[in-house]
Structure 1
Amino acid sequence: MTTPTTPSASTAPTTVTVSVDADTGVAVVTLDRPGRLNAIDLRMRDELRSVWRRLRFDGAVRAVVLTGAGERAFCTGLDRDAVVPQPDSPYMTDDPLLRVGPKSNDLWKPVVAAVQGMACGGAFYLLGEADFVVADPTATFFDPHTTYGMVSAYESVLLAQRMPYGEVARMMLMGTAERIGARRAHEIGLVSEVTEPGGAPAAATACATVIAGYPAAAVQGTVRALWAAREAALAAGFAQAPHLIALGNLPPGQQAELFAARHRDHRVR
């Protein structure tokens, strides 16, 4: 039996939906802003953090599938209309997505991501904290930061733990001019499986169902051990990120000008 739940009791439309299959112990978390290509605004950020925390305490949930609503995008990162107040100091940069992922909220239940369409920019905060990624043939991955005068810091550090250095460097430095297709993403280890068209959510759910059937303590201990192998490198990279962003980002007005003048042509490899 699948039971839909919501992150809060608010009557406003939710931007993250959660359904739990009581029979399998699998929760499906869906980014639900398809009209905005599932871009993360501050409301969605807060709802995601609430969802991850709540799932920590839900003993009926033993594995999680993370996906995006609609066919065009898994997630396109931070919503450009989001207003993020910043302290007037390079030592206290407030990154709005830094605690948006499951591991950042101490959720040590396995998370399988199902990607259809675009995944870019801030989407890597989520994909970087998923345990593995299943992709639809339509999936494409890219990072627009450098194109618009921004430093790709946290995204680069997270993906450097999943992909060969040269592939991460190429993705981050090529910006919007180039996207990694699902086939190439599989070849370089960013995704573990490319499904038939439309099959990513079902394939991810099938994997999660198998994992949820195993003893939970052993599964969660394995997730924690795997993440422990990455934590030292992440901590060192993240420590540098705020200063690099403060030094390297163009002022918001200049970023907006570059975004407005953007070219939509790109190569998929």
Structure 2
Amino acid sequence: MTAASAGLRVERDQDTGVAVVTLDRPARHNAIDLPMAAELASAWRQLRYDDTVRAVVLTGAGDRAFCTGIDRGAEVPQPSSPYSLDDPLLTVGPKANDLWKPVLAAVNGMACGGAFYLLGEAEFVLAAEHATFFDPHTTYGMVSAYETIHMAQRMPFGEVARMALMGAAERMSAQRAYEVGLVSELCPGDGLLPAALRAAATVASFPTEAVQGTVRALWSTKAAARAGALPLAPHLITLGNAPPAHQTTLFTTRPHTYDLR
């Protein structure tokens, strides 16, 4: 069973209990615009109440990009207060929408910037051998706050620091991401989705209460650090992204035209 919109596809297999959520804007490197952000939040909420779905695979259409964060054309009006920030990516992840069913991310190309909001809320990550990971924020005068907080709970501190501070100057290979623990399995490009589906089907075949209880237990180990760090992010971004005269358009005052080849 498939549900589709302009930027998102949700396919459910009732035989296996696995749903596949696909970011479907390959011409835009699966970047998230405002409609897709709303669709993602809605999709996670729907899956939360769908008892036929017991595990989810999250991936991107095509083989060039998993997701490149927020679409550079998105215009997000901002409040004038330096203590407030409206970030449309805050609600694109499964945990932000109280989905405690296991989510496996299948990274099939570039994953950068705001993609880490999604990877940061997946249980584990599989990647194609050609996948790459990078965070371009500092290169373009932007604070990497939420992205860094998410990745600091998945990777060694020094690796996160290098990725965030080196910006667009270098990319982490899928092999290196596997070595540092961000990625749990490397696959040939054409074998990525089948491998993710096999793993998800295995998890979905186990008793639901045990699986979801284990998911909650896993995330409870991260709760204290996340609760302490996330409230600081908006202030750090508003301080570091732009001079006060431009703080009402933080998502449009800095270029997002980094090289995506």
**TM category, shorter:** over 0.9
Instruction: Say whether the 8 Å CA contact 2:2–2:12 is kept in structure 1.
Output: yes
Amino acid at match of 2:232: Q
Distance 1:232 1:154 in 2: 15
Q: Is residue 74 of structure 1 aligned with residue 72 of structure 2?
A: no
1:206 aligns with: 198
Once the two structures are superposed, the pairs formed by residues 150-165 of structure 1 within 5 Å of their partners are 150-165=142-157
Any idea what the Cα deviations from partners look like across 1:70-102, whole Å, max 9, x if unmatched? Answer: 111000000010010100011111111111100
1:249 aligns with: 241
Distance 2:31 2:57 in 1: 18
Structure 2 stretches of 5 or more lacking a match?
none
Distance 2:3 2:260 in 1: 40
Amino acid at match of 1:95: D
| More displaced stretch, 85-94 vs 245-254 | 245-254
1:143 aligns with: 135
Q: Is residue 193 of structure 1 aligned with residue 192 of structure 2?
A: no
Amino acid at match of 2:108: Q
1:128 aligns with: 120
Residues 41 and 254 of structure 1, relative CA distance in 2, 3 Å threshold: closer
RMSD: 1.5
Any idea what the Cα deviations from partners look like across 1:24-56, whole Å, max 9, x if unmatched? Answer: 000000000001000000000000000000001
1:9 aligns with: none
1:93 aligns with: 85
How far apart are 1:232 and its partner, in Å? Answer: 1.2
Residues 95 and 200 of structure 1, relative CA distance in 2, 3 Å threshold: same
SS at match of 1:194: strand
2:232 aligns with: 240
| More displaced stretch, 247-256 vs 226-235 | 247-256
Distance 1:172 1:178 in 2: 10
How far apart are 1:265 and its partner, in Å? Answer: 9.6
How far apart are 1:23 and its partner, in Å? Answer: 0.4
Structure 1 residue runs of 4+, over 3 Å off?
251-254
How far apart are 1:63 and its partner, in Å? Answer: 0.3
1:169 aligns with: 161
Any idea what the Cα deviations from partners look like across 1:212-260, whole Å, max 9, x if unmatched? Answer: 000001000100111111111111111111111010003557623xx55
Distance 2:43 2:213 in 1: 21
SS at match of 1:220: helix
Amino acid at match of 2:78: Q
How far apart are 1:168 and its partner, in Å? Answer: 0.1
Amino acid at match of 2:254: Q
SS at match of 2:88: coil
Instruction: Say whether the 8 Å CA contact 2:63–2:189 is kept in structure 1.
Output: no
Q: Percent identity among equivalent residues? A: 63
Any idea what the Cα deviations from partners look like across 1:159-204, whole Å, max 9, x if unmatched? Answer: 0000000000000000001000010000000000001232111111
Instruction: Say whether the 8 Å CA contact 1:28–1:65 is kept in structure 2.
Output: yes
SS at match of 2:206: coil
2:51 aligns with: 59
Instruction: Say whether the 8 Å CA contact 1:177–1:265 is kept in structure 2.
Output: no
Any idea what the Cα deviations from partners look like across 1:5-34, whole Å, max 9, x if unmatched? Answer: 24xxxxxx4211011111000000000000
Match of 1:102 among 94, 107, 113: 94
Q: TM-score, normalised by structure 2?
A: 0.94
Amino acid at match of 1:196: P
Amino acid at match of 1:162: R
Aligned residue pairs total 254
2:174 aligns with: 182
Amino acid at match of 1:187: E
Q: TM-score, normalised by structure 1?
A: 0.91
SS at match of 2:53: coil
